[in-house]
Amino acid sequence: MPLTQSQIAEIDAHRADIFDTRRPTVPALEARLFQAMPLLDHGFVRVVDYMGDDGAIVQAARVSYGRGTRRVSEDAGLIRYLMRHRHSTPFEMCEIKFHIKLPIFVARQWIRHRMANVNEYSARYSVMDREFYVPAPDQLAAQSDANRQGRGAVLQGDEAAEVLAMLREDAGRNYDHYAHMLNEADGAAHDPSRQGLARELARMNLTLNTYTQWYWKSDLHNLLGFCALRADPHAQYEIRVYADAILDVVRAWVPCAHQAFLDYRLGAVTFSAQMLAVLRRRLAGEEVAQEASGLSKREWAEMTDALAASPAAGELA
């Protein structure tokens, strides 16, 4: 259960509060404020606050004094132009703050994006919850033979059962030891004769699939940069589900920017100068082999894979 009844009651209380404001608001996102979107087995994402909308992007680009009188189609066209030509600062005028619950190993991968304000739950001051991420059977895959960072075939039968049992056993045992070292009534049977280890030391015994939480605030430009990498099909599944959820929030928040992002970033590919030279030669009717292309085998494979994924360009592959 990602949220306790007391946490749900706290969220409902926040959602019951209504405030008057002169700032632009987005009804589709207002409807989602504070609500937790469950992810994985115990995780969630929820929007805590936001600033700006599609109009704020346009306003910043035009440096106007108000929201303007231009048509929505003109604003959408400008946003698409800005996205297409990779202008960044107008998108930085929008900000959003999330409350996120996620496994520690996902958090350590996530924090590599050094582009947001983060405040994480501190195990120096508080006791960690007894909640661990255990993959669903269809995500329990072997190491890929072709990709050092990827997964291969899904484990089956006794092998899968053994791995799942070890994940649960190791996480549970380590947490039991963590709680015992703390000697706190909330985590284990309290022994008044023992002092207990400091929280900042006891936490090192927890497994990386233990859940943590943080508040994470980002501007739209950097948020889309995160989504471009982590919502990609090649991203690790456990972080991709969070990026997909965040991207769905972006769709409700700034629909014009979201569609431009899908068209020009997430659904697009980039070709190098050498790749473009090969494509021009092919369009001119020349047969070009990898050996004569000036591309490495990996670059050649990336180019042909990108073209094969597009029905309109499939003949060039």
Q: What angle do CA 53, 7, 231 make, to 5 degrees?
A: 45
- Do residues 132 and 159 touch, judged by C-beta distance below 8 A? no
Which residue type occupies 283? Answer: L
pLDDT of residue 64: 75
**Dihedral over Cα of 14, 17, 23, 28: its sign:** positive
Annotated catalytic residue within 46, 199, 203, 230 = 230
Q: Give per-residue pLDDT as tens, 279-295.
A: 999 999 999 999 999 99
User: Which pair of structure tokens corresponds to residue 285?
Assistant: 């009717």
- Do residues 209 and 134 touch, judged by C-beta distance below 8 A? yes
In whole angstroms, give the CA distance from residue 179 to residue 202. Answer: 8
Residue 182 reports pLDDT greater than 80: yes
Residue/partner pairs of 74-79 with CB below 8 Å, 24 or more apart: 75/256, 76/256, 76/259, 76/260, 79/54, 79/256, 79/257, 79/260
H-run or E-run covering 66: none
Extents of the domains making up the chain: 5-126+210-266, 137-205, 273-316
Residue 1 reports pLDDT greater than 70: no
Annotated active-site residue 230? The verdict is yes
Average pLDDT, rounded, for the chain: 90
pLDDT of residue 65: 67
Query: 112-126, 127-141, 143-157, 245-259: which has the minimum mean pLDDT?
Result: 143-157
pTM of the entire predicted model: 0.89
Q: Any bridge partners for residue 211, and if so which?
A: 103
pLDDT of residue 6: 84
H-run or E-run covering 57: helix 54-62
**Architecture of the domain defined by 5-126+210-266:** 2-Layer Sandwich (3.30)
Residue 158 reports pLDDT greater than 70: yes
User: Which pair of structure tokens corresponds to residue 70?
Assistant: 């231009």
